[in-house]
C-alpha cells in the first residue's frame, strides 16, 4: 500500500495575544472563525483547511518558515497589501508580490489564482466567478 496525501489539513501559528490575532486575521482576510478557547482560535481556510493559532508567552519567529493564503485575483492581493501597509504599518518583504510578517512574526505569502493549476482547490461556483473556462 502507498500513502495518498489529499492536501494540507491545517496550519498552526503562535501568537502572543490571541484576541489581537483574531481581530487582525478577521480584518485583513475576512476569515470565518470556527472555534476558540482560552488561548487558541481556529479559522476556516478554503473548503477543507483551517488556520489554528495558539497563544504563547514568548514568540520565536522562524526566518524562513511560512504559509500561503490564496485569494481570487490581483485586486484582492492589492486590497490586502493596502490594508497591511496603510492600516497596520506592516512592511512587505521585498522581491515578492505580497509576503509579510504578521504582528506576531509569522511570515505569510499571499498568492492568487493566476494559474489554472490551482483551480482544483475551489468549489465549482468559485471557479465560475473567476471566469476560467474548460
User: In this predicted structure, what is the pLDDT of residue 116?
Assistant: 54
48: left (phi over 0), alpha (psi -120 to 50) or beta: alpha
In contact, 7 and 48? CB cutoff 8 Å: yes
Q: Are 55 and 39 in contact (CB under 8 A)?
A: yes
Q: Say what the pLDDT of residue 78 is.
A: 95
Across 38-98, the runs of DSSP E, i.e. the strands, are 40-45, 49-55, 66-71
Beta partners for 67? Answer: 108
Q: Is the pTM value of this prediction over 0.95?
A: no
Q: Cα–Cα distance between 69 and 45 in angstroms, integer?
A: 8
**Mean pLDDT in residue range 20-39:** 93
Cα 121 from Cα 36, distance rounded (Å)? 26
Which domains, and CATH codes, for the chain? 10-55+62-130 (3.10.180.10)
Give the 3-state secondary structure of residue 10: strand
Read off the pLDDT of residues 76-132 as tens digits, 9 standing for 90 and up. 999 999 999 999 999 999 999 999 999 999 999 998 876 555 666 666 666 667 666
Amino acid at each position: 500500500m502507498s500513502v495518498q496525501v489529499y492536501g494540507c489539513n491545517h496550519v498552526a501559528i503562535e501568537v502572543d495575544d490571541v484576541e489581537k490575532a483574531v481581530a487582525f486575521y478577521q480584518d485583513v482576510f475576512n476569515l470565518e472563525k470556527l472555534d476558540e478557547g482560552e488561548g487558541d482560535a481556529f479559522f476556516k481556510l478554503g473548503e477543507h483547511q483551517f488556520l489554528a493559532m495558539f497563544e504563547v508567552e514568548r514568540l520565536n519567529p522562524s526566518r524562513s518558515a511560512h504559509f500561503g493564503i490564496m485569494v481570487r485575483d490581483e485586486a484582492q492581493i492589492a486590497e490586502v497589501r493596502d490594508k497591511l501597509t496603510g492600516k497596520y504599518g506592516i512592511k512587505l518583504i521585498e522581491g515578492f508580490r505580497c509576503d509579510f510578517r504578521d504582528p506576531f512574526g509569522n511570515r505569510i505569502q499571499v498568492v492568487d489564482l493566476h494559474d489554472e493549476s490551482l483551480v482544483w482547490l475551489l468549489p465549482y461556483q468559485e471557479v465560475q466567478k473567476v471566469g476560467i473556462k474548460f
